[in-house]
Chains A and B, each alone.
Chain A
Amino acid sequence: MGWSRIVSVGLLALVLGFGASSQVKNPGQLIVVGTADAISLDPAWHYDIPSAQIIFNVYETLVFYERQRVDKFMPVLAESWEVSSDGRVYTFTIRTGIKFHAGGDLTPEDVAYSFHRAMIQDRTGGPGKLILEPLLGVKSMKALAEAEGDVKACERVKAAVRVDGNKVVMTLAGPFPAEPFLQILSGTWCAIVDKEWVIAQGGWDHDSATWRKWHDPKVEASELFDKMNGTGPFMLKYWKKGDEIVLERNENYWGEKPKLQMGVFKVVTEWGTRLLMLKEGDADFIAVPRANISAVEPLVGAEISGYPINKPFQPIVRLAKNPEGTVRVFKDLAGSSMDVGFMNFELAADSPFVPTLGGQPKPDLFSDLNLRKAFSYAINWAVYLEDVYLGEAVQPRGVIPQGVLGHNPNQPVYGYNKAKIIEHLKLAWGGEVWEKGFNLQVFYNTGNLMRKAACEMLEMYIEELNKERPGKPPFVIDVKDLAWATFLGHAVAGRLPLWFSGWMADYIDPHNWAHPFLHSAGSLAVRINITKDKALSAQFDALVSKGIGLLDPKAREEVYFQIQALSYEYATHIWLVHATARSYQRMWVRGWYHNQLEPGANLAALWKASLDSVTLGARGSLVIYGADADKQPAKHLWFWIENAGPGRVKVTFDWAGGYEAKDLAREYILEPGAFITKGGPHTWRASKVTVEELDGKRNTVVMYNFP
C-alpha cells in the first residue's frame, strides 16, 4: 500500500492542523492501541509482547522491578526472600491472605505448581527454557526427559522448586548471577497461577507420570489460552479476539488500589486510523513506526528525554513546535535490542547463496580475518546513525550494549576508513581478493529500511574501490531482500554469507548477549559457523562459561571486557546499532515510567488528568499534584510551568505542608516562552502555585506535571 502511505501522510498533515481538545476523554480508562493482538493468555505459553502486556497486569510474580530500575527488585507475592551464601538456593516467604480473582487463596503450593507447570509445558519456541536453564541446567524439558526418563525428569523439576512450610525453595543447577535470575522471575512467564483452578480447567494434575499430556501444546490446546485468574490489580473482563482486550480493576486487590477503572487494549493495524484515534483522544498510547514519526509531529506538545538506565529520572523537556499539542513523546528510551552484521565463516553445504572468489565458489570467504576487517571498516557510523536513525541510536562498542554490566565505554571500535579497507582487502586470502575480485550477496529482511541502508553502504564503499584497481575483475556486492520468514529460515540454517539482523534480550545480563553471539552453542553463533575458527571459538567458549560462573560483578565485568576485546581483534561481527525507543502518549496520561523489561503500560501506576493551565485575567493559580488529586505523597515527581505569553508573569510557590524544593526560589519572573522545571525522587504533596501577570496583557500559563 505504497500509495496509501503517501496519501495518508499528506492528508494527515492537513487534518492534524485542526485544533484538538485537551479535555480528558474516558477518564477512568486507559486505551492502548497497537498493531497486534495477544496470542495466548497462558503465562507458560506466551512469549510475545502483546500477550505479556495483558498478563503482567492480571497476574503477579514473586518479585518485580522497582519502577524503571531493572537492577532493583521489590517483593510482590513473596513477602521476602533470602539467598544462600553460594548463590545457589533462593528461599521465598510467600505472602498470606491474598486471593485469586476467582476466589481461591494463594498458597506456596500454587507458587511451586506454577513453576512446575511452566517447565513441563515448555512448548517449542516458548519461554520455558528461560526457567529450565538456571534451575535445571537444560535447554528443554524434552532433553531432560530423554536423558533421565519421564518420571525422573518431572521429579527433578519438582525438586528444583519445592514447598517448605510457608516458603518456596528454589535450588539452581549451577552458579547463576542473582540479577538475571531475579529478572527471569520478574518475567510474565513466571506468573503465579491457582493450582486447583488450573486443574479444574483441565490443566495438569501435578502427577509426575502424566505430564507428557500437557507438554508442548498447540496454542489453543493450553487450558489457559483465553482464561485468566491472577492475583493482580486488574482482571480480564473480556477478550474480543482480533479486536480488543478489556481489563477491569480488581476491587479486592490486596495492594494499593489502582486509580484507573479499566485498561483497554485495541488492535488497529491501519496506521492512519491509529494516528487519528490519538488525535481525537480515543487512544492514549499508540504504536508509531519509525517511518511515520514525522506524521505525529504536529500533535506533539512536549518532547522529553533524559531517561537514563537505572538512575533517577531527570527530565529534559523541550517544547515542540506546536504549543497546543496534546501528545508528549519520550525520546531516547533505552531499548534491549541490537542490530548486527553477521559474516558467515562457512556457509552450510545447501546454501544457494555461495559467494565467489575469482569466479570460483568460496563458501568460507569470511573465514579470512582481513576480509572481515575490511568489511568492518566499511560502515560510516556518523552518517548512518544520523541519517537512518535520526541520531536516536549509538554505535555499540561490542556485544554488550550500554547500560548492561560488562559494557566497556573505552573499547575501540571500527569506523569508516578507506585506507584500512584497501589495506585489508589487499591482504585478504593472500592477495587473491584484491587481484581476482569477488561476487557476494548481502541480505536484509524485506521492509527493514535501516538494514537495507547498511547493506547499501557496504556495497557503495567496497565497490567504489574498483576504480583503484583498473583491469582487475571487479568487487561485486549485490544487495538482496528476503521476506522475514524466508530470511530467518536461511539465516538459522547458516545459508546466508552476510546479513543484518537483530537480537532482543530477555533479561539484562551480559550472558544473554555473549552466549548467543559468541559461544559455539549460541543460537546466533551457529548461524555464522564460528567453530570454523576452532582456536578462536574455544577462547570464546572458555570466557563465556567463566563469565556466567562468577558471582562477583567486578570479576564478571573483567571477563566481558576480554570477550569484547577478542571480538574486536577478530572482527567477528559488525556491531551495527543499539537503537533507542520512543513512547507517544496523550499528555493527560500520568504516572508513566519506562522500564525496558516491562512489556507495556503498567495500568496500576497510571491514571489520567488534564493539563493544568490558566488564562490569566490578572492572577490565577495552579496545583502541583502529588501522586494524585487525593493529595497522596508521590515518590517521583516533576513539573514544568511555562509562560506561553504574551507578557511576563510572576510565579510564586506555596509549599505549605509539602516538600520544599530547596533549590527553587519562592518567586520567579517568567519572560514569555520561559519555563521552570524541577523533578526527582522526592516526596511531594500537592502544592499551590500562584501566577500573576505583570504587563497588563492576557497571559496563558501552562503547567504540566506527573509523578
Chain B
Amino acid sequence: MFAYIVRRLALIPILLVGVSAFIFGMLQLLSPWERVAAYVSDPAALREGRDELELLIKKYGLDQPIHVQYLEWIKGVFQGNLGWSEAARMPTLQAIAYYLPASLELTLWAAVPLLVIGIWLGVMSAVHHNRWIDHVTRFISITGWSFPTFVFGLVVLMIFYGALGWFPPGRLSTWASLVVNDPGQFRAVTGMYSVDALLNGRLDIWADAVRHLVLPAITLAYLSWALLVRVTRSSMLETLRQEYVQTARAKGLSENKVIHRHAKRNALIPVATIGGMMVIGLLNGVVITETIFNYKGLGYWFAYAARQLDIPAVLGFTMFNGVLMVVGNLVVDILYAVIDPRVRLE
C-alpha cells in the first residue's frame, strides 16, 4: 500500500504541469490587450492614450511569447510564488491560505447534514421501499438535484433573511467582525470562526458565525443530497436482498439490528467512496453558493478573479483544486481499502 501511495503522490507534479500548461495555453488565446485588463480595474486609468496601455503590457510582460511567459511563471511556482492576485490584493498563495479556512469551515458544516441526513434518508428510503417515506425522500432529492444553486440560494436567502431576518449573508455580523479582527480581543487560530470562537471562549461569536453558516451550508448540502440518497438507497436495497440478510432475519434478530448492524455496514461501502468525493466536491462547488451568500471563501474569490481575468488567481485556484482532487481521491481509495478488507491497493 505504501508504494501505491507514493506512486499516486508522485503523479501530482506531472498533473500540475499538465493542468497549468493547459490553462496557460487557453488564457493565451486572449490578446495582451484583454489580459492587461486584470491590471486596470478603473477604466479611467487607461484613457491617457495608447502609450499607457502598451507600457502596462510591457510592465507585466504580456507581450512575451507564450513559452517565455509560462517558464517565467513556472519558475516562480517552484520558488513558492504563484504571482500576485489583483482580485485578492495579495499574492496568490497567500490568498489561498487566506480564503481556505472559510471554505473549509463551510464545507465541514455542509458535510455534516449532507452525510448524516443524506445517508439516513437513503437508508430509510430503502427500508421503506415504495412507501410514503420513500416517495417523499425521492421527491426531495430529485428537486434538490434539479434546482440550480443560485435559484435555491436566492430563495432561501429571501425567505430567511429578506422576510424573516434570521440568517444574514456574509461570515459575521459587523459587531462580531470588529471583535474578530481585533488581535487584542480575539486570537485567530484556524481562521474558522466557529472553531476559533470556541477556542477563545466567545459563545456570542460562535452563535453569530453559525447563524451565518446555516443557509450556505444547507444550500450546499441540499443540492448534493440527491446523489447520496440515491446511491445509499440502491446499495441498501441490493444489500437487503442478500442471502446473509435473510439469514440474519431467519436467526430471529430484530429488524433494527438486521438493518443497522448487518445490512447498513455493507451497503455503505460504495457510499463511502461517493460521500468522500462529494465532500471534496463541496469544496470545489462553493463558487456560486459563496457568491450568493457573500461568503468570502475560495469560491467567492475565484468567481471574482475569473471575472477580472486575474490569471495568477485562476491558475492558482485550479492548481489547488488539482492537488485537492488527487489527494482526496487517494484518501478515498485508502478509506475504501480500510472499510472493505477484500480490496487491496497495489
Contact = CB atoms under 8 A, between A and B. Distances in A.
Contacts of B43: 484, 488
B33 interface: yes
Contacts of A1: 150
B309 A272 contact: no
Nearest to A264: B174
B174 A125 contact: no
B182 to A, nearest CB: 8
Contacts of B40: 125, 485
Contacts of B70: none
B47 A503 contact: yes
A39 B41 contact: yes
Given A11-B158, A125-B56, A242-B304, A276 B169 contact: yes
Contacts of B155: 11
B50 A492 contact: yes
A129 B44 CA distance: 13
Contact of A241 (B37, B52, B55, B89): B89
B49 interface: yes
Interface in A15-73: 15-16, 18, 26, 29, 31, 36-39, 47-49
A237 B181 contact: yes
**Considering residues B86, B296, B303, which has the most beta carbons from chain A within 10 angstroms of its beta carbon?**
B296
Contact of A492 (B42, B45, B49, B55): B49
Interface residues of A, number: 70
Contact of A124 (B52, B148, B294): B52
B181 A270 contact: no
B154 A37 contact: no
B83 to A, nearest CB: 11
Contacts of A490: 33
Contacts of B41: 36, 39, 48
Contacts of A243: 171, 296
**Considering residues A125, A241, A523, which has the most beta carbons from chain B within 10 angstroms of its beta carbon?**
A125
Interface string A306-332: 000000000000000000000000000
Given A49-B42, A240-B181, A485-B34, A4 B150 contact: yes
Interface in A197-222: 216, 218-220
Nearest to A502: B43
Contacts of A18: 162-163
A589 to B, nearest CB: 16
B194 interface: no
Given A48-B41, A489-B34, A125 B52 contact: yes
Contacts of A48: 41-42, 44-45
Contact of B90 (A31, A36, A241, A527): A241
A273 interface: yes
B168 interface: yes
B237 to A, nearest CB: 36
Interface in B165-193: 165, 168-171, 174-175, 177-178, 181
Interface in A221-278: 226, 237-238, 240-244, 246, 262, 264, 266, 268-270, 272-273, 276-277
Contacts of B158: 11-12, 14-15, 272, 276
B53 A492 contact: yes
B47 A516 contact: yes
Nearest to B102: A243
Contacts of B229: none
Contact of B37 (A218, A484, A526): A484
Interface string B12-34: 00000000000000000001011
B88 A241 contact: yes
Contacts of B48: 125, 129, 139, 523
A449 interface: no
Contacts, number: 167
B174 A31 contact: yes
A8 interface: yes
B181 A124 contact: no
Nearest to A52: B42
Contact of B168 (A226, A282, A489): A282
B292 interface: yes
Contacts of B151: 3-4, 7
Interface in B285-309: 291-294, 296, 300-301, 303-304, 309
Interface string A131-166: 000000001000000000000000000000000000
Interface in A477-511: 483-486, 488-490, 492-494, 503-504, 506
Contact of B49 (A11, A216, A218, A523): A523
Nearest to B58: A124
Contact of B154 (A11, A49, A226, A266): A11
B37 A485 contact: yes
B46 interface: yes
B145 interface: no
Nearest to A14: B158
Interface in B196-214: none
**Considering residues B56, B98, B161, B309, which has the most beta carbons from chain A within 10 angstroms of its beta carbon?**
B161
A126 interface: yes
Contacts of A484: 37, 43
Nearest to A33: B294
Contacts of A277: 168-169
A238 B181 contact: yes
A506 B88 CA distance: 27
A170 interface: no
**Considering residues B34, B88, B162, B300, which has the most beta carbons from chain A within 10 angstroms of its beta carbon?**
B162
A242 B301 contact: yes
B102 to A, nearest CB: 10
29 contacts: A7-B151, A8-B154, A15-B158, A15-B159, A16-B162, A18-B163, A29-B174, A47-B45, A124-B52, A124-B59, A125-B52, A219-B86, A220-B89, A220-B90, A226-B89, A240-B177, A242-B301, A246-B178, A266-B170, A269-B291, A269-B294, A269-B300, A273-B294, A276-B157, A276-B161, A277-B168, A485-B35, A485-B309, A489-B36
Interface of A: 1, 3-4, 7-8, 11-12, 14-16, 18, 26, 29, 31, 36-39, 47-49, 124-126, 129, 139, 216, 218-220, 226, 237-238, 240-244, 246, 262, 264, 266, 268-270, 272-273, 276-277, 279-280, 282, 483-486, 488-490, 492-494, 503-504, 506, 516, 523-524, 526-527
Given A11-B158, A129-B48, A488-B33, 4 more contacts: A47-B42, A48-B42, A219-B89, A277-B168
